Structure 1
Amino acid sequence: MSPSEGEAEDIRLERIVFIGRTYDEYLRMFNVKPGELKGRTVLDCPGGACSFTAKVRQIGIEATAADIAYQFEPAALEAKGRLDIVHAVQHVEILRDQYLWDEFGGPEGLRTERTRALTATVLDMSQRPERYVAAVLPVLPFEDRQFDITLSAHFLFMYSDKLDYAFHEQTMGELMRVTKDEIRIFPLVDQSSSRYADMEKLLSFAARNGWSAEERPSDYEFQRGADSMLVLTRY
């Protein structure tokens, strides 16, 4: 999961940031309870090293993750992920005041949780590789309305300094194509906690394509100001 999504040519592992959140973080980010997902097909896109797919499958929920990184072997991704965790923790230590530390207690707690997510993900990838689909946004290799609900974390809006409006529109259009009922996107700000400038334009695009939009508060906040999600519902 990284801003290099969309660059289909010359994809190298060193250009990909393989880091992710835990299952528990996902539940709070998206204000979702496992019972709400029972009997529904779920897409996590981009999934990165997030352990959501691994954990929900353990409780009988059908989930699939898609990410540019999944073309690489689990062992290589684990090694890259461990390096990325080191760099990520160093980064947030430098910008410590931009984060709320109640969630993790401090940098070591953050390192522990990111490592826990990575470990669970690569283990599940080794055991159930068919549930981890390599994909380069804004194109997804899925059928129309294949999934009941899609969750998308820390990608759209987050890298708006690198990914232009056209990419955002194409990606949202593709998420809408493969999703039957509902899409949840978190957060609505970039890495400096500034709200996505073209949000209204993007929501108008969604409305023209048959989707209503609602901004809802999230129960999760680590980056200051990253405390809400977008919920898109098909008419």
Structure 2
Amino acid sequence: MSREEKRQEEQRIVSDHQNSLELEQIIFVGRTFEEYIRMFDLTTDELAGKAILDCPGGACSFSSQARKHGAHPMAADIVYQYGIQELKTKGLQDIEHTMKQMQTVQDKYVWDQFGSIQGLKEERLLAITDFVADMKSHPECYVNTVLPELCFNDDQFDLTLSAHFLFTYADRLNFEFHVQTVSEMLRVTRHEVRIFPTVDLSGKRYNDMDELKMFLEKMGCKVSEIQTSYEFQRNAHTMLRIIKPS
């Protein structure tokens, strides 16, 4: 990709998150609640009574299962502008397509948790099944939002979780977008924000991580990179934990 093509692609993705998104442009595949617990170094006991934002929530089952553990979850994503049936159809198609692609890149992943591509497929199907059922039961908890802005009140959530977006697409989302998005997540969160993973799609640590951490520390936040027990993409096993000043 040339420099100009990369610039245009970056502008397109940022534009998608500022305006609208064609459903065919995305891969609508989600993670399970169990994956979230490991990615974000959580326990089920600490979820009870917490207001938790999952952003971007995608087709993940975290909200569905966290609610069963006494949490008050809400998910936000630009794709929630679409209807449930559209999202379900897209998600099932993308799972099939993704599993076919996995055949040629298996060496880039760690298979301890899933065992095989079939095992991975079953988990992805479980995630979208839970997501669809919960969205039908609690549509008000799935909010269409356009990052870097969030349509929530200050300090509305105890905890915000963000998986596989920031840092992951660092080649297409510039540093300013990262700063604006993390700042907005902190605005709507009382206590802390956790972001997973801290690497891009090649498994390389986010280039501007130290600059971002410095920015957050100047705000008074306590920032740490924490290794978790979750690793599927190789080298993607660390989350960024940001604790707001009390």
TM-score, normalisation: structure 1: 0.95
Of 112, 119, 138, the match for 2:122: 112
Of 44, 56, 64, the match for 1:54: 64
Q: CA deviation at 1:93?
A: 2.0
Counting only pairs closer than 5 Å after superposition, residues 64-213 of structure 1 correspond to structure 2 as 64-213=74-223
Q: CA deviation at 1:204?
A: 1.2
Deviations 1:127-182 (CA, angstroms, capped at 9, x unpaired): 11000011111011000111011111111100011111111111111111111101
Q: CA deviation at 1:212?
A: 1.1
Of all paired residues, the percent bearing the same amino acid is 47
Gaps of 5+ in 2: 1-11
SS of equivalent residue, structure 1 residue 94 = coil
2:55, 2:75 within 8 Å by CA — same for their partners in 1? yes
Q: CA deviation at 1:92?
A: 2.4
Report the AA paired with residue 153 of structure 1: A
1:6, 1:136 within 8 Å by CA — same for their partners in 2? no
**Separation in 2, partners of 1:71, 1:59:** 27
Report the AA paired with residue 196 of structure 1: Y
Matched, 1:36 2:46: yes
Q: CA deviation at 1:59?
A: 2.4
Matched, 1:19 2:29: yes
1:42, 1:148 within 8 Å by CA — same for their partners in 2? yes
Report the AA paired with residue 85 of structure 1: I
**Separation in 2, partners of 1:104, 1:37:** 25
2:30, 2:127 within 8 Å by CA — same for their partners in 1? yes
Q: CA deviation at 1:37?
A: 1.9
Greater shift in the superposed pair: 138-147 or 57-66: 57-66
Gaps of 5+ in 1: none
Report the AA paired with residue 217 of structure 2: A
Name the structure 1 match of 2:244. Answer: 234
**Separation in 2, partners of 1:108, 1:133:** 31
Name the structure 1 match of 2:9. Answer: none
Q: CA deviation at 1:103?
A: 1.1
Q: CA deviation at 1:205?
A: 1.4
SS of equivalent residue, structure 2 residue 190 = strand
Report the AA paired with residue 208 of structure 1: K
**Separation in 2, partners of 1:125, 1:194:** 34
Report the AA paired with residue 15 of structure 1: Q
**Separation in 2, partners of 1:193, 1:84:** 23
**Separation in 1, partners of 2:181, 2:15:** 9
Q: Size of the alignment, in residue pairs?
A: 233
Query: CA 1:84 to 1:108, structure 2 compared with 1: closer, same or farther past 3 Å?
Result: same
**Separation in 1, partners of 2:15, 2:232:** 27
Greater shift in the superposed pair: 33-42 or 69-78: 33-42
**Separation in 2, partners of 1:162, 1:134:** 22
